[in-house]
Amino acid sequence: MLDRPAVTLQPNINNSRSRGPVALRSSNPEDSLKIEMNLLSDPLDRETLINGLRMARKAFQQKAFALT
């Protein structure tokens, strides 16, 4: 643990519009799936995450989070 108070704020997208394919790698059922998540491929997802990061930055600039 840290020797001082700490907090974590992690913006995320709960209902992502980005989509990617899922495919079989081979006919072997033991092989893992090929998953391409295409994270942040949708412009609205990128905008949503950027806005969340801006909100987090603004929150951490408040006096309540200042180190004394």
In a domain, 32, yes or no: yes
Question: What confidence score (pLDDT) does residue 6 get?
Answer: 83
DSSP character at residue 41 = -
For residues 11-25, give the mean pLDDT: 96
Q: Are 49 and 13 in contact (CB under 8 A)?
A: yes
Residue 36 pLDDT grade (very low, low, confident, very high; cuts 50, 70, 90): very high
In a domain, 42, yes or no: yes
- Residue 35, classed as helix, strand or coil, is strand
Q: Residue 68 pLDDT > 70, yes or no? A: no
Residue 4 pLDDT grade (very low, low, confident, very high; cuts 50, 70, 90): confident
In a domain, 46, yes or no: yes
Pairwise CA distance, residues 35 & 23, whole Å: 7
- Window from 7-11, 13-17, 36-40, 45-49 with minimum mean pLDDT: 7-11
Query: Domain tally for the chain?
Result: 1
Amino acid letter, residue 31: D
Which residue segment(s) compose the domain that 48 sits in?
22-65
